[in-house]
Structure 1
Amino acid sequence: MMSSKTRWEIPKSPIQKHYEKGFLLVVEKPPGIPSHATFDPNRPNLEDLLRKQEKNPSLRLVHRLDLDTSGLLLACIDPTQNKEADKILSESEKTYICITRGVPSQKEFRVECFLKDGKGRVSSVRSGGKKAITDFKILSSNPEKGISILAAKLLTGRRHQIRFHLSMVGTPILGDETYGESFREKKKHLVPEPNRFLLHSYLLQFKNEFQEEIRIVSKLPSDFESYLHFFSGLRFPE
Structure 2
Amino acid sequence: MEVKKLDSWFQVKVSDAQKNQTIESYLKNEWQFPKKLLHELRMAKGCKVNGEIKPWNMILLPDDQVEILLFNEEDYGVTPQNQSIEICYEDDHLLIVNKPFGVDTHPNEKGQLNTLANGVAYHFQENGLKIKVRHIHRLDKDTTGGVVFAKHALSSSILDSMLSQRKIKRTYTAIVEGNVKSLKGTINEPIGRDRHHPTRRRVSPKGDKAITHYTKKKYISKSNITILECQLDTGRTHQIRVHLSFLGHPLIGDVLYGGKRKLLNRQGLHASNVQLIHPFTKEELSINIPFPTDIQQILNEKR
Q: 1:12-48 CA deviation, whole Å, 9 max, x = no partner?
A: 8531212122421111111110111124744421112
Pair 1:69-2:143 in alignment: yes
Give the distance between the partners of 2:175 and 2:301, measured in 1 at CA.
Answer: 11
5+ residue gaps in structure 2? 1-80
- Aligned residue pairs, count: 213
Aligned residue in 2 for 1:122: 201
- Relative to the length of structure 1, the TM-score reads 0.82
Q: Which has the higher helix share?
A: 2
- State the shift of 1:193 in Å: 3.0
CA distance in 2, matches of 1:67, 1:216: 21
Describe the SS at the equivalent of 2:257: coil
Q: Which residue of 1 aligns with 2:106?
A: 36
Fraction of identical pairs, as percent: 30
The partner residue of 1:54 within 113, 124, 130 is 124
Equivalent residue in structure 2 for 1:17, among 83, 87, 92: 87
Superimposed CA distance per residue, residues 75-100 of structure 1 (whole angstroms, 9 cap, x where no aligned partner): 01112432212023331111011111
Code of the residue aligned with 1:58 in structure 2: it is K
Structure 1, unaligned stretches of length 5 or more?
1-10, 184-191, 233-238
- State the structure with more CA Rg: 2
Contact 2:179–2:224 (Cα < 8 Å) also in 1: yes
Structure 1 residue identity aligned to 2:162: I
Q: Which amino acid aligns with 2:201?
A: V
The answer to whether the 8 Å contact 2:252/2:259 transfers is: no
Q: 1:211 to 1:181 in 2, by over 3 A?
A: closer
1:227 aligns to 2:298 (yes or no): yes
More displaced 10-residue stretch of structure 1: 16-25 or 102-111: 16-25
Match for 1:168: what amino acid? F
Kindly report structure 1 stretches of 4+ aligned residues shifted beyond 6 Å.
none
- Match of 1:131, as an amino acid? K
User: Residues 148 and 40 of structure 1: is their aligned pair in 2 closer, same or farther, counting only changes over 3 Å?
Assistant: farther
Over 3 Å counting, the alpha-carbon distance change for 1:133 and 1:231 in structure 2 is farther
Check the 8 A contact 2:210/2:235 in 1, yes or no. Answer: yes
Letter in 2 for 1:223: D
Q: Which has the higher contact order (CA 8 A, sep 6+)?
A: 1
Cα RMSD (Å): 2.0
What is the TM-score with the length of structure 2 in the denominator?
0.65
- Match 2:155 to one of 60, 81, 87: 81
Mapped to 1, the partners of 2:86 and 2:159 lie a distance apart of 20
Q: Aligned AA for 1:50?
A: V
The match for 1:132 is: 210
